[in-house]
Structure 1
């Protein structure tokens, strides 16, 4: 049936009229053990400020009965995912029984059957408005309420929710009833019920009862990583509790690693993660760092998002940007991953820059007239640019004032809803700075400023032709000598208008935005840029070195450098770089430059240079694992494959990568694929086998993989889907892939049934960058502007066509 998207005006009207006190939600999962139907009864207690008025409750499920204050409601009035509520009293009780059988697409809920053992698992995720798919509720962030869940589940299942179960009792028909303690006042989108025959580990640390859950087929992997995950969780809770002067106010904190999710969700006290984070082979340093980042990102939401929640989705950016900033901050301050700001630049910030130079950009604080637009805003502007702008704000007011503002904000607004002005007022009071202009310039204008150092003047230009934003940054000076780049000091600068005189530090070479505190495209004079690129490994810290690579990448995107020059910069740096997380990110970026930003005739040469650099790193030392993975994507020579063969004997993940590369080169070995799948303990090993099939330059193989990815959607979300997608779009297979860009456009209309995480993975992850041409880009632009196009798809198309066009220009210029 049609489903209406709640508008901002409707939400404001309903919030002014209603106050929700509590939900009693009975959830029957027993129909999901062998079938697809979930049944719920939602009892909502709420008040109405104007007795006699009418409103509605959200419900996108099959309603079997509904009563309001004991009077049966007409079920024939249910339309557009809404049940009208007439003649409200001052105090009301609404009881709605409903069933949902659409449990296989990840829209609010996913029922997954483990291919290894046939066991069934259930996870739920409701952001932004998918709680309504399972039970009747007032599904908007500012109608917070206490939630109390009672869950009937098969007796072999463990159930998790937002807090601890108060009782677990035997029920009829081989089932148990789990009754959970009432939650604090929560928005509907951060509630959760997960269930299945989980492998569970618990540990008490610093007074917190910490839980980890996985499917049974990954029990050994969870056991392997448990010490690290428990330690990281305890460190995060301690860090945030102390820094925010507000300890997490609940003893229990659970994290469930679930199949086929492709993301994570910050449910109060019970975070859900994709079980991609339980790496089947020993994880690399960077994989561990990425997992730690996500764990801390979701944890930060306990304060910013769950404890204090945005009133409406126009402040979604702040919710996500804050969690991203806080995760990097905590990684640097409380864990072994002290290079987190360098990896954020490589993994996130340059993605924000990429979208910000495209037609898919938008102001950070954008107009969100309805929830559908909110879903489209789960993008690099919201997350990556938003995080970077908060990092600039912390530099602009000073970190001490920034933290003091956060403490005041949490103390004043706990369990409530806020708007941006509430937070900015707290920062202004703590810092003594008027942030009115800062807020408008940074949040209400799209695009990236450019900062150019010319002599002793720092020139700032804004992309919209207006005044540049206020920037607080540092400039570092170096002297190139025979012994390396010698540091000569730093100065701090506040940009004041289009031209700011600077008393430069010593040295003849200057690095603009040292420490990477602001968000801007930076340039020095041509000679300084060339020196920094060719001698990047001589800079004193990973963040400075990474900043030079990020500048080179920006210049590649804007046609100021070639892919050859960028690959040269990266290969020179990885030869001397000490940070393992940075090396892995650099190698990934180098591979992207070699495969996607290079003329087809030059791809073998550039990938060959990357392979040679990787082979040198792969022989020993701390960078061996990421180097082997890069080599597995680029190898062509017998000696390189011999090196890989020896290493792959002990590393199943690497073995799959090698088979995929051989298949891409025409060396297909079905027996080897079958043998590896038989010995791979990964319950999703079939997807790894499919990635080998996807690598072939063969029409039948491509058709088979397309069917699995885009039609049947049997490839699990997350890493598996990403790897198969990458292996499908191979840069030198233009002829066999010729039909698929337009098939991608034809499939766009079907993506809406994939749930939010599925849409993001399919629309963005399958954009055919490797084989775009001008004709396809024109058709994609037309598809983006077509009436009724899904807004998430439109954003992905606009971004894809811009990046694809830049790639085409780089391939032509190379």
Structure 2
């Protein structure tokens, strides 16, 4: 059913008119064991403040029956996913029976058959307005209400929801009925029903019973990681409970790892996230750090998003940015990942700079006229720039004041809905600072300020030519060996701020500890000298700032890719911090193959491979070094080292096979052997990474069919791996026609938000001609294209254009 997107005006009108008392929702999953249909009966008890008024309830499923206060409604009036409601009374009961058979597109729900054992799993993910696709509801965030679920499911399945079940009936006709108690007052987008024959790990940790679930075929990987996952969960709950001033109130906290999900969802008490997080080989430090951040991000939403919820989607940025900020904050304080902020800079924050300094920039806080536009804001400005700005706010007011402000915010607004002003008022009251101007400057203006050190002054330039934002940052002074001489805390005001008391040194690094969001330069160009010494700086965060600045120079054409590769390889020669090692290796590979002139690519990749080979002798560095070596290998020495290592590491063997296929040495027998020996139930999809790398049209066609026609490749990590293998820079002439086909595909793409984000973003080409760049801009401007797709195209086209220019330039 084509469903109309709810507008802000409609939501405000409905919120003034209605008060939802409760939802009682019966869900029948028995049709999903061997079929495609979910059935539901939603009973909504609600009040109307204006008797005899009219409104509508959302239901984008096939409506079989609708009864309002005992009166059967005319189903011919159902249109656009809406059931008209007229003649409302002060107190109302609406009952809607519906069915949904679109359970394969990830639109609110996904039914998956595990290819290794034939077992069926079902998960739901209802942000932003996907609850209406499964049952009738008033699907907007500010009509919160308790939900009571009763779920009928095949007898072999475990059913998971926001609450632990009150009871589970004995099987009748091969089915069980699971009855769950009332949730607290929740928005419709954070309730959940997951089901299947899950493997469960459960332990009591402190005041909480912690549950982990995954499909049976992933049992070895879940059990391998279970203790660490539970430890991190326990630490996170304790940290947030303390810092936010109240513990998580439920006795349980469950995390469900599900197939073919491109991300994670913060359902109250029952977080659902991609089972790609259960790595099929021993995870590296960076992979474990990313899992910890996802875990803590979704956990932070229990307070910010679930307990206290934004009133409308224009504050979605705050919902997501806060969770990302809180996850990094908790990671640095409560886990082994103490250098989490350095990891954030060389990970998510660099992508925010990329987007914010291009044509796809937008203010962090945007007007959202309807829900479809909210989806377009799921980008790096929402998440990573928003996170950076919250870190800047904490630096601006002080951590103690910021924490006190958060505690009062959660205390005063628990189970309610808020706007940004409610949070800022709480922080302002705790800190004693007027934040009205700060809020407007940082959240309502797009683009990235440039901070330049000019003698003993900091010059701040706004991208829109207006008054620069205020910045609280540290300025570091270093001697010629890279040793820190001293650091000055600075708060800028206006275009020029004099530095009083900065210790003299040979080099100065503005924003040394990365407290603010800005592009940094030095008027005398000495920043490039410091970048060349990045590996000598004493602290991981400073080394990360130096490398991030080098990336910024390359993106803006102020330095060549060879300078960046030189800086990265110099830093890698001495780098020992695992938080930086993997990103630096990945950056070196990317700079070599995507930003270098074609004639230099192989030579630069060989340099990166040689460095990775040298690092692979260190047991602590071996795995990430071998992964990069596999992607860049070009000599007999590289191949020999990889052959020995891959014999006992199937993940590495896949990487080696893809590189060999790219170089024209595909081995079909080896491919079959890898599928057979890989314990991953998705091994057949992993084989597509090898097929995708082959420089042959038939191979590209096979992969294209799986990605865009059958949509068979699981969203998230696997889609990204296949995409990276598909778009090989050395295969430009073969791939340009597929770049144009990509635009044809995404212009008409549909499906669930997470799957769209995964496929459209990762499959954006890294090869193109001028016609493609022009067409990409044209498609991005078309109003009939999904807003999410338009936003991805605009930002990705800018990056590709910069790559193309860098490939043509040579200092």
TM-score, L = length of structure 1: 0.99
Residues 683-762 of structure 1: matches in 2 within 5 Å?
Answer: 683-752=681-750, 754-762=751-759
Alignment match of 1:781 (pick from 767, 777, 788): 777
Correspondence for 1:763 among 760, 767, 771? 760
Deviation track 1:398-429 (CA, whole Å, cap 9, x = no partner) reads 11111010000000000000001000000100
Post-superposition Cα deviations, 1:149-185, rounded to whole Å, max 9, x if no partner, equal 0000000000100010000002421011000111000
For residue 4 of structure 1, what is the aligned residue in structure 2? 4
Counterpart Cα distance in 2 of 1:527 and 1:708: 49
Partner of 1:362: 362
Give CA-to-partner distance per residue, 1:460-504, whole Å, 9 cap, x none. Answer: 000000000010111011111xxx222211111111111111122
Determine which of 651, 656, 659 is the counterpart of 2:657: 659
Question: Is 1:802 matched with 2:809?
Answer: no
Select 1:536's aligned residue among 531, 534, 537: 534
Give me the whole-angstrom Cα distance separating, in 2, the residues matched to 1:160 and 1:639.
51
Q: After TM superposition, give the deviation of residue 581 of structure 1 in Å.
A: 2.3
Secondary structure at the aligned position of 1:42 is classed as: strand
Partner of 1:104: 104
Task: Give every structure 1 segment of 4 or more consecutive aligned residues whose post-TM-superposition deviation is greater than 4 Å.
Answer: none
CA distance in 1, matches of 2:765, 2:716: 18
Deviations 1:501-538 (A, max 9, x none): 11222312111101100000011244531321121111
Q: Which residue of 2 aligns with 1:487?
A: 484
Distance 2:275 2:53 in 1: 47
| 2:391 is the counterpart of 1:395 | no
CA distance in 2, matches of 1:143, 1:230: 33
Question: Aligned partners of 1:619, 1:202: CA distance in 2, in Å?
Answer: 38
Instruction: Give the CA deviation at 1:361.
Output: 1.1
Q: Which runs of 5+ in 1 are unaligned?
A: none
Measure the CA separation in 2 of the matches of 1:235 and 1:421. Answer: 30
Is 1:438 paired with 2:461?
no
CA distance in 2, matches of 1:531, 1:539: 12
Query: Which of 644, 647, 650 is matched with 1:646 structurally?
Result: 644
CA distance in 2, matches of 1:580, 1:593: 20
- How far 1:750 moved relative to its partner? 3.3
Shift of 1:624: 1.1
Q: What is the deviation of 1:774? A: 1.7
Written as runs of structure 1 = structure 2, the 5 A alignment for 1:481-560 is: 484-503=481-500, 504-560=502-558
Q: Distance in 1 between matches of 2:62 and 2:422?
A: 40
Secondary structure of the equivalent of 1:186?
coil
Which residue pairs with 1:82 in the alignment?
A: 82
The question of whether the paired residues in 2 share the 8 Å contact of 1:161 and 1:194 is answered with yes
Q: Deviations along 1:609-651, whole A, 9 cap, x unmatched?
A: 1111111101223111111000000001111111111111121
- The CA RMSD over aligned residues, in Å, is 0.8
Deviations 1:318-342 (A, max 9, x none): 0000000000000000000111001
Contact 2:49 2:90 survives alignment (8 Å) = yes
Q: Deviations over 1:374-394 (max 9, x none)?
A: 001000110010000001000
- SS for the counterpart of 1:493 is strand
Distance (Å, rounded) in 1 between the aligned partners of 2:313 and 2:779? 26
- Residues 58, 83 of structure 2: 8 Å contact kept: yes
Q: Any residues of structure 2 matched to 1:205-216 within 5 Å, and which? A: 205-216=205-216
Question: Is the 1:751–1:762 Cα contact (8 Å) retained in structure 2?
Answer: no
Spell out the pairing of 1:376-395 with structure 2 (5 A cutoff).
376-395=376-395
Mapped partners of 2:741, 2:15: distance in 1: 44
Change (3 A) 1:787 1:208: closer
* Corresponding position: 1:329 with 2:325: no
Partners in 1 of 2:198 and 2:740 — Cα distance? 42
Q: Distance in 1 between matches of 2:687 and 2:658?
A: 9
Q: Residues 437 and 578 of structure 1: is their aligned pair in 2 closer, same or farther, counting only changes over 3 Å?
A: same
Distance 1:263 1:673 in 2: 28
1:738 Cα deviation from its structure 2 partner: 2.3
Q: 1:631 maps to what in 2?
A: 629
Is contact 1:54-1:86 (8 Å) kept?
Answer: yes
Point out the more displaced range, 629-638 or 485-494.
485-494
> For 1:4, what is the secondary structure of its paired residue?
coil
Q: Does 1:566 align with 2:584?
A: no
Partner-residue secondary structure (3-state), 2:734 = coil
1:55 aligns with 2:55: yes
SS of 1:584's equivalent?
Answer: helix
Equivalent residue for 2:23?
23
- Residues 144, 187 of structure 1: 8 Å contact kept: yes
Is the deviation greater in 581-590 or in 61-70? 581-590
Instruction: Please state whether the residue corresponding to 2:731 is helix, strand or coil.
Output: coil
Separation in 2 of the partners of 1:648 and 1:468? Answer: 53
2:597 counterpart (596, 599, 609): 599
Q: Distance in 2 between matches of 1:615 and 1:524?
A: 35
Q: 1:783-809 CA distances to partner (integer Å, 9 max, x unpaired)?
A: 111231211111011111111111111
How big is each residue's C-alpha offset from its partner over 1:746-767, in whole Å with a ceiling of 9 and x where there is no partner?
Answer: 1123322x21011111211111
- Is the Cα–Cα contact under 8 Å of residues 214 and 257 in structure 2 kept in the other structure? yes
Q: 2: distance between equivalents of 1:99 and 1:670?
A: 45
Contact 1:31–1:38 (8 Å) recurs in 2:
yes
Q: What residue ranges of structure 2 are gaps of 5+ in the alignment?
A: none
Q: Distance in 1 between matches of 2:439 and 2:647?
A: 55
Count the aligned residue pairs.
Answer: 809
Give me the TM-score of the superposition, normalised by structure 2: 0.99
Distance between the aligned counterparts of 1:420 and 1:793, measured in 2?
27
Match of 1:791 in 2: 787
Q: Distance in 2 between matches of 1:127 and 1:576?
A: 44
Contact 1:402 1:427 in 2 (8 A): yes
